[in-house]
Structure formats: structure tokens, C-alpha cells
Amino acid sequence: MRRFLLFVCFCAFFLAPSATFAQDSTLQAVTDRQQALKDQLAALESQIAVQQQLLDTAQNQHQTLQTQINAFNAEIKKTQLQIQAINLTIAQLNGNIGAHNQTLSQLSARLSAEKESLAQILRRTQMIDDYSAVSVALGSESVSGFFSDLDAFTSIKSALADSFNEIEQTSAATESEKEALQARLAEQEQLRTISQLAKQQLVAQENEKQKLLAKTKGVEANYQKLIAASQRSAAQIRSELFMLRDSASIPFGLALTYAKAAERATGTRAALTLGVLKQETNLGENLGTGTWRVDMSPKRDQPVFVYITQALGLDPDKMPVSKKPWYGWGGAMGPGQFIPSTWVCFGGFLNTRTNTCSPPSGATNFWQGPWRYEASRDRVRKLTGSPSPSNPWNAQDAIMATAMLMADNGADAQTPRAERLAALRYFAGWTHANNPAYAFYGDGVMQFAAAFQADINQLGG
């Protein structure tokens, strides 16, 4: 029976508190590296601000060949600095990802050890259950030995409860660490996408500059003639196609009509809404198109997607969605790139068990439904006046929904700062909107919005 006492010691070894996950020297090295990256990023932010001032100055001056060249130079330098900032932030994330991976590995090893310990305890518990108190008493060498063995049984029972508690705590910590790692990987993927777009714009900016120099041969008079020749008529502006991600293109005049209606309904400036859609279309050209069965989150978005397409009378297998990146999930729908679990609150879908469109606290299996469509809760339909359920692939509905979300993000204040921040929230969420590494997306939206506003002004408002 003394083997039980030995086993209690064995269990205590496995259930003892684990040592610190990383050595102090390693932690200090990681901390120093992160601080160095932060310092470099702060220096880059200052340089980017200088280029922005130069760009603003050039754009506000009388349009000449030299001011246009100055604007190109400032834009090119600013984009180069933004790419460096993105790369620095990715390097920071890599350090965080490495730390999360190490912690996750250690937690997993600890969890395995705890499960093995639990298995050993359960096997010993079964052996205990096979003995009666009488058997133990007869098998003991003395009365004191008998009570000592009974203490061993009690200790093993206690160790069993402790093991369950340890496994529960470690499992929760492991899941939390997995979620943190997933968030960092998803953020890294977004930044890589932004970096790719920035590099493409850098090439385009340099090409535009060289074309301008080639056409004007550096002569101001030639530049003024070029400007005059490039002026488009109102009819040309209206007839130009406005590209929409994962949907058919429509004439710019029609897109503007929808965007102006959305502006009246939400307060989001029409040019800004069109700027967001233009930026999302550019992203779509880089990422490609996916399918819901492959690219969409199976637990959160796939069940909802089926209900949405059923309500619209659409074949889910034929509807384009965003392609998932190397890590994480895609599945965003239409020009505005709404994921199904977000669209439900815009499009009038309710979980029939909770009568809500978003999960209440403590709700389990919320996204599995069942779901129902309720016209009175269709926010987009109310504003467009459409007789049909709102459709994320429909141009009018997508433009209205984009303006609605931008207004929710603060764009209805109609100040440059609020509009740019709303665009960053649209792409990166509220948590990462102020991260300078995402600045390129917000700046791009504002540049597109400025160009669209110029067209709108030429059309007479």
C-alpha cells in the first residue's frame, strides 16, 4: 500500500506551479527590441508628417508644373516612409507572434503533463475503488500503517480535484493565448496587404511623374496646355464607369446619385463613400475572389450566409466573396465588403432564439441560428425605400450600407480628421484605427474622396 504514498508525491510534482515561461535575459532582449522599433516608428511618423505638410503646401498653391512636381515628390517620399512604417510594425508583430507562440507551446506542454497526471490519478483511483476498507486493514502491517494508507487515499482524491482545476485553468489560458495569436496573425496579414497596395501606388506615382515630365519636356506652357486638354465634360464624367468590387460596374453618374441619397440619409459625404468603395475595389484586385465554403468562417459566418442568400433568393455557391488570406478568414460580401455576421444587423436578420442580430453576453452557438428576416429591422431597406430585402451585392444597397457604417464610425462629422479616422475604422476596426501603420489606407480613401469631390463640384454639386 505504500506505493500510494509514493504516487501522491509523483502527482504533487506534476501539479506544482510551473516555472516562469521565459528567462529574464530573453525577456529583456525582447523588450529592448520592441522599444527600438517603437523609437524608429516614432521617427518615421515625424518624417511622414513633414512630407504631408509639403504635399499640402504644393496642392494649395497655384497649379504650375513645379508645384505638381513638388506634389509628386512629396507623395512619393511619403509613400516610401509609410512602407517603412508598415514594415517596422510587421517586425513588431513578429516579435509578439514569437512570444505568443512560445507561451502557447509551453501552455500546451503543461496541459499535456496535467492530463497525463490526471490519467495516472484516475488509474490509481480505480485501484483504490477495488479495495475495501477491510481489505486494506488486513493488508496493513499495523494499525498505524492502516491509517497512513487511508490518508494516502484521501490525498489521491484531493489530488484528483486539484488536477481537474489545473486542467481547467490551463485550458482557459491556452484558449486565450490562441485568440491573442490569431489576432496578431490577422493584423499582420492586413498590414501585408496594405504594404502591397502602397508599393503598387509608389510605382504608379513615379510613372505619373515621369509621364508628366515627358509630355511637358519641363516647359510650363506645355503643362498649362496639357491641363486644358485634360478637362472632361460633365457628360464624360457621368458616363465613366465606376468600378465596384465583386459586382458589375455602373456609370459614375448613377453611383453619385446613390451616394448623394446616402449622404442625405446618413450624413456621410458622397465623395467619401465613393472613396471607400474605390479603395476596397483596389484591395479586391490584389486579393482576388473566393467562395463561401472555402474562404468564410465556418462557425461564425457560413450559417448566417446561407440565411442571407436564401432570403434574397440567391444561390450561395454562385455569389462571390472575398478570398481568405494565408491566415484567418475572408468571406466579405459585395462592394462594401461586409462579412455576413455584420450584415445581419444592417439587413434585418434576427436570431429567432434571442430575437437579436448580435450575440448577447453568454450566448452560445448564436451564429448557428435559426435566423429569420424581418423587413421592419432592415436598416438599409428603410433608407433606400426598396421593396425588396437589402442585398450586399446590389450597388444601391452597398453604397447606402457603406455610408451607414462610415457614419457609425464618425464620418457624419464631415471634418477631414473625422472622415479619415472613420475610413481607418472601416478597414482596421476601432482598436487599430490609430495605428500609424494603417495610415496608407486612410490617406488613400481621402485622396480618392478629393478627386471625386472635384468631379462632383464640376457637375454642379
Candidates 457, 356, 336, 456; CA nearest to 408 is: 336
Q: Look at residue 152 in the predicted model and tell me its pLDDT.
A: 61
pLDDT tens digits, residue range 277-327?
Answer: 999 998 887 667 899 999 999 999 999 999 999 999 999 999 999 988 766
**Tens digit of each residue's pLDDT (9 = 90 or more) over 331-378:** 999 999 999 999 999 999 999 999 999 999 878 899 999 999 999 999
Q: Which helix (H) or strand (E) holds 375?
A: strand 371-378
Residue 416, pLDDT above cutoff 80 = yes
pLDDT in the model for residue 59: 80
**In the beta sheet, which residues pair with residue 351?**
356, 371
* pLDDT at 402 (0 to 100): 97
Q: What are phi and psi of 321, to 5 degrees?
A: -135, 165
What does the block give as the cell for 121? 490519478
pLDDT range class, residue 243, cuts 50, 70, 90: very high
Average pLDDT for 391-395: 97
Residue 255 has pLDDT above 80, yes or no: yes
- When mean pLDDT is compared across 127-131, 183-187, 294-298, 406-410, the lowest value belongs to 127-131
Helices vs strands, H then E, count in the chain:
16, 6
Task: Kindly report the average pLDDT of the chain as a whole number.
Answer: 83
pLDDT per residue over 187-212, tens digit each? 888 788 888 888 888 898 899 899 88
The pLDDT of residue 355: 94
pLDDT confidence of residue 185: 79
**CA distances to 14, 107, 109, 324, 344 from 10, in Å:** 7, 20, 18, 47, 54
DSSP 131: S
Q: For the chain, what's the residue count?
A: 461
pLDDT tier, 2 (very low <50, low <70, confident <90, very high otherwise): very low
**Burial track 337-364 (b if 16+ CB lie within 10 A, e otherwise):** bbbbbbbbebbbbbbeeeeebeeeeeee
pLDDT class of 4 with cuts at 50, 70, 90: very low
Mean pLDDT check: name the lowest of 147-151, 285-289, 294-298, 418-422: 147-151
Q: 16 pLDDT band (50/70/90 cuts)?
A: very low
Lowest mean pLDDT among 19-28, 59-68, 185-194, 210-219: 19-28
Q: What is the mean pLDDT of residues 141-155?
A: 56
State percent of the chain over pLDDT 90: 41
Give the helix, strand, coil percentages of the chain, each rounded to 5.
75, 5, 20
Share of the chain above pLDDT 70, in %: 84
Given pLDDT bands bounded at 50, 70 and 90, which one contains residue 42?
Answer: confident
Joined grid coordinates for residue 379: 436598416
Tell me, what's the pLDDT at 317? 95
Name which residue leads in pLDDT, 272 or 324: 272
> Residue 6: what pLDDT?
38
Q: If you average pLDDT over residues 380-398, what whole number do you get? A: 96
Q: What is the pLDDT of residue 145?
A: 52
Structural contact between residues 268 and 411, judged by C-beta atoms closer than 8 angstroms: yes
pLDDT tens-digit profile of 152-181? 666 766 766 777 777 778 777 777 777 777
Q: Report how far residue 169's alpha carbon sits from residue 18's, in angstroms, rounded to the nearest whole number.
A: 13
- Tell me which range, 6-10, 170-174, 436-440, is most confidently predicted by mean pLDDT: 436-440
pLDDT at 144: 53
Which is nearest to 193 in space by CA: 309, 337, 55, 67?
337
| Dist. CA 270–CA 279, nearest whole Å | 14
